[in-house]
Structure 1
Amino acid sequence: MTNKGPAAAVTPLHAFYAHEQSHPDQPWLMQPDAEGKVQALTWAEVGRQARAMAGYLGELGLAERAHVGLLAKNSAHWFIADLAIWMAGYISVPVHPNLDAEAVAEIIRQGDVQALFVGEINEWATIRQGIPSGIPRIGLPTASEDGCLRPWESIIHSATPVSGSPVPEQQQTATVIFTSGTTGLYKGVMLSFANLAFVGRNNLRLFNVTADDRLLSFLSLSHIYERQVMEITSLYAGIQVHFVASSDTFMQDLRRARPTLLFVVPRVLDVLRQGVEQKISPRLLRTLMRIPYLRTQVARRILQRLGMADVRYLVSGGAPASVSLIEFFRQLGLAAAEGYGMTENVGYSHLGRPKRYRAGWVGLPNPGVECRVSDTGELLVRSPAVMQGYYNNPEKTAAALDEDDFLHTGDLVEMDHEGFLRVLGRLQDALVTSESQQVMPVPIELALQEHPLIDQVCILGNNLPLPLALLRLKAKVQDQLGKDREQVERALSDLLEETNEGLPRRSRLSCLVVVSDPWRIEQGFLTPTLKLRRSVIEAAYASRLSVWSVSGRPVVWADHNNE
C-alpha cells in the first residue's frame, strides 16, 4: 500500500492506515462507561481489534462483498466494527438502534444482511425475534449478555487477524444506508469509498480542521449526518472523537469532551437553549448581551457551564432550524450556522459560513457542488458525493439521478443571485386543501415553533377547507396546564391570529390543536434526525381532522371533549 498521507488518502481505510503508521500510540476514540471512566483507544489498538474482527468475518464463509449489519448505539466499537467490515472486503449496513422489530427485520431483509453486529439495544428481547436465526450475530462490548451473541472479546482474543493492510477500490460500494426520509418507505442508498473520501477530504478545509480539534458523537451513526463528520472526517483529520455514555449523561459528556466542532440537530439545540433559559430569563439575557462590558463575560460563563466554551463552529442540520434558535447561540459569540444535505450525497451539499451568515438561509454550496433549480422549484445537485444509486431499486435510482448525473433532491427551494439557499420544504409535503389551494407547511411550522410554549408542530391540510396545526407543548408548560390552561389558551389564540395575518386568506390556519401524545422515533412519528413524518402523523389523527377543522374554535384540546 502506498499513501501520501491521511489528507490525500484515496479511501477512508487508506487514511486509517496512515494514522496508524505515523502515530500509533495517539488516542483516537474516547469511550466513557456508565461510571464516567473513559477508555482511550489508540490508532494501534483500533487497528489490532479491527484486524482480528476482520479475520473472524472472513472465516464465516460469507459471500463476496457481503452485507454486514451494524445495529448499535454510538460507541468506539461501532467505528472498529465498520473498519473490520471494510478490511474483510464487505459492505456495512447501519441500522438505527431505536427502530422497532418490524423495521429492523425489513432492513435486514431488503439489505440482504448476512451477518450482524449488535450493541446496546433498549428492546433487544423484542428486536431479536425479527432477526433470521441463520444470521451470525456478534455482540459489541456494549451489548447485553445473550447466548445468541458471540462476544466481541472472545473473538478478538481467538481470531486470526487479517494480514497486512487490505484496501478496497475507490469505486467499490462502502456502505448501504437505508433511509425512509419523511415517507416511511425504505430505500438503500449505496455510497462508494470515493463518495466518502471526497467528503472527508473537503471537510478538512470546509471546517479548517486542525490536529487540536475535538468531536463529540451522540447522534446516531446510522444516519449520514453524524457518520460523515464523526467517522469519515475524523479518519482524514486524525482528530479525537469522544462518545457519550448514554443520553442521560449528555451534558456531563459534553463538558468532559469540550468539543471544538459541534454538530447537532435543532431539537438538541432547543434543549440546550431551554437549559440556559431556566437559569436566566430570555429578556434579561438579551439586555445583558447589549452591554459591551458584560456581553463577553456572561456569554463565556454560559458556554463554560454548557461545555461549549471551546466550540469554534456550531452546525445544526438534519432538520430545519428556526431563525431564533440559530441566533440565540450566535448572540453568545458562537459561529453557528445551518447545514443541508441528504443521505444520497453523504450529507454534503450546503453550509452556512460564519462570516457570511444570512438569517433564514441555509448557506452556500460546498466546494465541488453544482446546483440547479428546476422549473418546479426543486433543488438539483451534482458532485462526487452523489450516491451510486438505490440498492436493488433501478426505478427509484432512475427517478433520482438524471442523465446529467444531477440528484433530484425533492426539496422545494429558493436560491438568490449569490447562491444562498433557502429550503421551503419537501415537494411531497405540499398540502392541497379542498379548495385546491397549495400550502407549504414548513415555513409556517418554523414560525409557530418560535413561540416559547410550543415544542413540536405539524401542519396538516390535505382535503380540508383550511389547514390546521397540530402542536405539542413544552414539557414544563404541559405539567402546569392544570392551573394555567386558560392563560395558555389565550396565548395560543393570539398566536393563531398573528400567524394568520401573515398568510394568504386561503392558506390560513383554521385552528391550533393541542395534542399530548408523544411523537417519537420508536412510534414512527420522527425520522432518526427528528424530522416529522407528516404522513404518519396525518394517519394517526385522520379520523378527527375534519371535525377539528370546522370546530370554530381557535384552540382545540385534542384530549378533551370540546371538539
Structure 2
Amino acid sequence: MDNAKKTPVEMLAHWVNTHGDKVYLRQPINGKYVDFTWREVQQKMQQIAGALRHLGIEPGDKVAVLSKNCAEWFITDLALMHGGYISVPIYPTANADTIRYVLEHSGTKAIFIGKLDYWADQEPGVGGDILRLAMPYDTMPAQYQWEQLLSLGQPLVEVEYPAIDATMTLIYTSGSTGKPKGAIHTFANYSWTCGAVVRDLQTNTADRLLSYLPLAHITERIAMEGSSFYSGSTVAFVESLDSFVTDVQRCRPTVFFSVPRLWTLFQLNIINKIGENKLNFLLKVPIISSIVKRKIQKGLGLEHCRLLGSGSAPIPPTLLKWYHDIGMNICEAWGMTENCAYSIINFPFNPNKIGSVGRAIEGCQVRRTEQGELMVKSPGLMKGYYLQEEATAAAFDEDGFFYTGDLCEIDSDGYIDITGRVKDNFKTSKGKYVAPVPIERKLAQDSHVELICVIGSGLPHPVALVQLSEGANRQPREEVRTSLKATLDSINPNLESHEHVDAIVVVTEPWTIENDALTPTLKIKRHVLEKAFSAKVEGVRGAKVRWEDEL
C-alpha cells in the first residue's frame, strides 16, 4: 500500500485490522506501564473527537495541545485529525507570554492541557474564553476532565478520512530569533515525511520507540509519533525527568533519537563514573574493550538499539567520534519545522563523514546559493507561514526551494556541512563580519565546556561565553583556566586576524529555558546572551580566560 498518501487515521485503522489487540502505547504511571492496544487507541480517538463535536467545536477550528509527552497526547492528536480539527501544539515549557501569543495568533478555540511542571506560571497565558480540556494528570483547572470527555456525546465513528491536502497542524517555530511563526503543514507533507523515515530507517512492528523529546517540536512529531503511525512500532513514554534512565531501561528502545545536550550529559556521566584515562586504557585492550562498550550501552539502556540519532542543534564532531570509539554510531540529521524535520541524514552511518549532517534523502533536493545558503525542496515542505504572507513569499524562490537560513558546504559525495546561520554572522566594531558557529565548534572540543556562545556584534573582537560542565565546575578554577587557555591558544592562530577570540568568559548562571537563554529545543538564543553580556565583556582583551565574577 502507498502509505505516503494515507493519513495517520487511515494507518491507525490498518493496524487495528491487522493486529488490533497488540499493545501500541505504554504510559508509565507510578513506575508501572499502563498499556493501550491499537484498538483502544482508536476507540478513545473516536470518543474524544465525538466529545469535541458535542461541545460545539466545528471542523476546521484550531485546538491547542499543551502537555509533556504521554499516551493521551497521541490519542488527542489522532482525535483532532479524525474530527477535521487543526492542531496547534505548544511547548510544555513555554512561558505565559508565548502561550498567549500562539493561542491569539492561531485563533484557537479549545486547549488540551496535560502533564506540566509549572502550570501555575503558565495559566495566565490561557485566555478565559478558551475551552480547557484536561488530560488525566496534575494540570491547571479545566472545564472538562479526560474521563468526562470519554463519555460525552456519541463517539465519532462514521466520518470520512481527512483529505490528504487539508491542513493538519500549525507548528510554531521555537523562536530563537524573535516571535514564533506558525508553519502550515498538510496531511500530505506529514505523511510523505513519515513514510520517508520508515522507508529509510526500515522501522517495523517489532521496533520499540521512546517518546520524550517535546512532541510540540516537529522532530519528535515525525520521528517517534509519525513513524509509529506508518511502521506499526510500539511507543513508550517517560514518566518524569527523575525516572528518565529507568524509563529508558524499561523500554529497551531499538531506535533512539536525542539532542546534542543530552548526548553530552551521557558522555560526562560515563567519564565521571569510569575516569577518562582509565576508559581510554580499557578501550585499547581488545577483549575488555568489547565488555566495557556493552556495559556502557546497557547502563544507558541502549544495548538493544540498532539506530541512534542526533538533531535539532549542531553536535561537536569530537563527541560523535568519542561515541563511535565506544561502539555507538550516532547518525546526525538535519531538518527544520518548515520541512517536517527530515531532509538530510548521515545514514547509513559513515564514520568518514562525521562533522557533516549527511546527504539529502530520496525525494529531497538541495542547492547552495552564491552566498553559501542551503536551500531545500521536498514534498515535506510547509505550505507557508500562517497569516504571514510576506514572510512566506520571502521564504521560497521561484522554483519552490526553501531558504533555510543555514550556511553550508557540499562536498563531492553530496555530504553537507552546516557552517553557520546567515543571521548569526555579526559585524565587529572594526566593520568585519565574523561567523561564530565554526569558532564555537572548535572551542567546544575542550571537555570542560558544556555550552558555548561566541558574541561580538559591535565589539572590537569576538568573545566566547562558556557554561562549564558539572565536572569542570567541581575542579580547581586554575586547572580549568589552564585547559581553556590552551584550547584558545591552539585555535586563534588558525583564524583570520579579525576572528581572533579576545577572551573566554565563564558564566555564573547556567543557561536554561526558564531564564530565556535557551529555546524549548535547547538551542542557544544568541541575541539574548549578546544583550546580557556585551557591555560586561567589553574590556577583556589578550586571549584571557575570565570567570564572570572576575570581570
TM range (shorter): over 0.9
> Does residue 1:535 correspond to 2:523, yes or no?
no
Distance change >3 Å, CA 127–CA 324, structure 1 → 2: same
Residue from 186, 201, 210 that aligns with 1:207: 201
The answer for the alignment partner of 1:159 in structure 2 is 153
CA distance in 2, matches of 1:538, 1:8: 44
The answer for the alignment partner of 1:17 in structure 2 is 13
- Secondary structure of the corresponding residue to residue 112 of structure 2: strand
CA distance in 2, matches of 1:508, 1:283: 32
CA contact (8 A) 1:118 1:143 kept: no
Please give the per-residue CA displacement for 1:95-119, whole angstroms capped at 9, x wherever unaligned. 0011111111111111111100001
Give structure 1 stretches of 5+ with no counterpart.
none
CA distance in 1, matches of 2:308, 2:350: 14
The answer for the alignment partner of 2:306 in structure 1 is 312
CA distance in 1, matches of 2:277, 2:72: 45
The answer for the alignment partner of 1:516 in structure 2 is 508
CA distance in 1, matches of 2:294, 2:5: 38
Counterpart AA for 2:358: G
CA distance in 1, matches of 2:180, 2:294: 44
CA contact (8 A) 1:102 1:130 kept: yes
> Does residue 1:296 correspond to 2:290, yes or no?
yes
Cα displacement (A) at 1:277: 1.0
CA distance in 1, matches of 2:178, 2:511: 15
The answer for the alignment partner of 1:555 in structure 2 is 545
CA contact (8 A) 2:112 2:132 kept: yes
Cα displacement (A) at 1:149: 4.0
CA contact (8 A) 1:335 1:354 kept: no
Cα displacement (A) at 1:9: 5.1
Please give the per-residue CA displacement for 1:4-49, whole angstroms capped at 9, x wherever unaligned. 48x465212211111122211111111001x211011111111111
Counterpart AA for 1:11: T
The answer for the alignment partner of 1:485 in structure 2 is 477
CA contact (8 A) 1:311 1:334 kept: no
Cα displacement (A) at 1:498: 1.5
Counterpart AA for 2:20: P
CA distance in 2, matches of 1:452, 1:485: 15
Cα displacement (A) at 1:355: 4.5
The answer for the alignment partner of 1:118 in structure 2 is 113
Cα displacement (A) at 1:418: 1.4
CA contact (8 A) 2:5 2:192 kept: no
CA distance in 2, matches of 1:318, 1:442: 15
CA contact (8 A) 2:208 2:236 kept: yes
- Secondary structure of the corresponding residue to residue 228 of structure 1: helix
Once the two structures are superposed, the pairs formed by residues 104-503 of structure 1 within 5 Å of their partners are 104-144=99-139, 146-164=140-158, 166-357=160-351, 358-480=353-475, 484-503=476-495
Once the two structures are superposed, the pairs formed by residues 48-127 of structure 1 within 5 Å of their partners are 48-127=43-122
Q: Which range is displaced more, 173-182 or 240-249?
A: 173-182
Distance change >3 Å, CA 416–CA 529, structure 1 → 2: same
CA distance in 2, matches of 1:329, 1:354: 16
CA contact (8 A) 1:313 1:334 kept: no
Root-mean-square deviation (CA, aligned residues, Å) is 1.6
CA distance in 2, matches of 1:271, 1:465: 34
CA distance in 1, matches of 2:543, 2:486: 13
CA distance in 1, matches of 2:159, 2:83: 10
Cα displacement (A) at 1:294: 2.5
CA distance in 2, matches of 1:263, 1:130: 31
- Secondary structure of the corresponding residue to residue 429 of structure 1: coil
Counterpart AA for 1:498: S
CA contact (8 A) 1:184 1:533 kept: no
Aligned residues: 550
Counterpart AA for 2:119: W
CA distance in 1, matches of 2:59, 2:32: 40
Please give the per-residue CA displacement for 1:426-476, whole angstroms capped at 9, x wherever unaligned. 100012111222211112112222212111110001111110001111123
CA contact (8 A) 2:268 2:471 kept: no
CA distance in 1, matches of 2:147, 2:350: 49
CA contact (8 A) 1:340 1:347 kept: yes
- Secondary structure of the corresponding residue to residue 40 of structure 1: strand
- Secondary structure of the corresponding residue to residue 109 of structure 2: strand
CA distance in 2, matches of 1:332, 1:490: 28
Distance change >3 Å, CA 478–CA 335, structure 1 → 2: closer
- Secondary structure of the corresponding residue to residue 57 of structure 1: helix
Please give the per-residue CA displacement for 1:132-184, whole angstroms capped at 9, x wherever unaligned. 1111100011233x543411011103331102354111111111011144203
- Secondary structure of the corresponding residue to residue 84 of structure 1: helix
Cα displacement (A) at 1:352: 0.4
CA distance in 2, matches of 1:8, 1:245: 32
Cα displacement (A) at 1:372: 0.5
- Secondary structure of the corresponding residue to residue 559 of structure 1: helix
Give structure 2 stretches of 5+ with no counterpart.
none
CA contact (8 A) 1:53 1:159 kept: no
CA distance in 1, matches of 2:77, 2:319: 34
CA distance in 2, matches of 1:96, 1:133: 20
TM-score by structure 2 length?
A: 0.97
